[in-house]
């Protein structure tokens, strides 16, 4: 099985959380702030992705008046 090339949003957020919660002193306050800001951006991206996911089998409503304005269908032409 081929390895995944990219991390999921959840994996990225877990990694950023480990930076933000670091108590060993490996990361500066600036690094922690950047991790918090990036985590917030990823959370917003994830929320937008969930909100814009189309529902299955949903078709947009078509106003019947618009259909009346369309020209008649053209006959199909055979190509040889």
- pLDDT of 75: 84
- Label residue 67 by pLDDT band (50, 70, 90): confident
Q: What is the pLDDT of residues 32-63, one digit of tens each?
A: 999 999 999 999 998 988 887 666 666 667 77
* Nearest C-alpha neighbor of 43 from the set 13, 18, 17: 13
CA distance 34 to 7: 19
Q: What is the pLDDT of residues 12-32, one digit of tens each?
A: 999 999 999 999 999 999 999
pTM summary value: 0.56
* 35 within 8 A of 20, measured Cβ to Cβ: yes
User: What separation in angstroms does the CA of 37 have from each of 9, 25, 29, 32, 66?
Assistant: 14, 19, 12, 9, 47
């Amino acid at each position: 099985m081929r390895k995944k090339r990219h991390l999921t949003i959840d994996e990225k957020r877990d990694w950023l959380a480990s930076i933000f919660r670091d108590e060993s002193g490996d990361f500066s306050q600036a690094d922690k702030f950047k991790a918090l800001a990036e985590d917030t951006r990823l959370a917003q991206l994830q929320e937008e992705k969930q909100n814009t996911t189309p529902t299955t089998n949903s078709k947009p409503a078509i106003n019947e008046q618009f259909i009346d304005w369309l020209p008649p269908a053209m006959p199909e032409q055979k190509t040889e």
